[in-house]
Amino acid sequence: MYTFCEAITEDLLPPIRALVAHRLREKGYSQTQISNFLGKTQPLISHYLSNGREYWVSKLKSFGLELEVIESYVDTLSRDIISEPKAAIKTFNLMLKDFLKNGKICNIHKQKISSLKDCNICIEVFSQPTLSREKEFLLKKLEKAIKDIEESPYFVSIIPEVYVNIAASLENCRSFEDIATIPGRIVRVKNRAKALMPPEFGIISHLTKLLFEVKKIDPSINVVINIKYDKKLAHIVSTSNIYFIKTEHDIIYDEDDVINCIRKAIEKIGNVPKVVFDEGGFGLEPITYVFGNTIEETINLVLDLAKMYVLK
């Protein structure tokens, strides 16, 4: 029996891995380094590179995958494998979940076994459960915000190296299940912003945990988005009459430490500012966090900042 697991390991994984190898080669890494990054033998890496990039792209396109989707995942995986291997595993798992629930793995499976032409089991199993009207409404708002970001010619200029995510919660948020985020984040694709996947509820991410903590201080805060932090953006915020603070810390080891620092900084002033600057720590990129009561308000502020960042 040829299962969907075999479709993934035998047909989907090799082209994805090969394209990541090509991207790492473009970045100047040797075959030995790429072998270490991917956990595969050097002869296999040589095989991946000996076949041109278009050879591997054509294989994925034959399964019904769009070029833009392929490029998005390859870019993200290539970055994560170098800087944050755990994030690469998460990105890959989210990619598989996306392909399973959208029927992309089905295309591979059905090409191999014609008797499965009417099979929709993976789509049924991996699709999101039926949501409440309130959650559906919030997802629609978040999808509109993502579309506005993707259509902005300026937003790509404020995407940090760790990419962008948005967390938005129900007003009566009781758990992580009441917070929606973007699996896989918003990344750069051909100098524009692109969300790897549509938003979902219940994805536990850095911003999910941050928003949940901040809502304990001010339940009216329902949205947070992360963007880049540098001196230029800090100057724009500080000269634009936007309420902001900076976190204070000595040594930061992980994202949970960042959340604790932000929580303490907010508790110190007694309310939640529009913007929090965090200068990062060992292995952690400096980030700007933008908070808001509504998705529309928060995204409009971020898009304004992006425009000023480019035009000023």
Per-residue pLDDT tens over the stretch 161-174: 999 999 999 999 99
Instruction: Give residue-wise pLDDT tens across range 70-90.
Output: 998 999 999 899 988 888 898
Query: Confidence class of residue 157 from pLDDT cuts 50, 70 and 90?
Result: very high
Q: Residue 26 corresponds to which tokens in the numbers above?
A: 């473009």
Asked whether the CA dihedral 86, 84, 123, 99 is positive or negative, the reply is negative
Residue 17 to residue 19: CA distance in whole angstroms: 6
Residue spans of the domains in the chain: they are: 4-126, 133-311
pLDDT above 90: residue 289: yes
Please check the confidence at residue 2 and state whether its pLDDT lies above 80: no
SS3 at position 277: strand
Q: Which CATH number fits domain 133-311: 3.30.70.141, 3.40.225.10, 3.30.70.3280, 1.10.10.350?
A: 3.40.225.10
Average pLDDT for the chain? 92
* Average confidence (pLDDT) over 65-70: 88
Q: Which residues of 259-287 are buried (b: 16+ CB within 10 A; e: fewer)?
A: bebbbebbeeeeebbbbbbbbbbeebebb
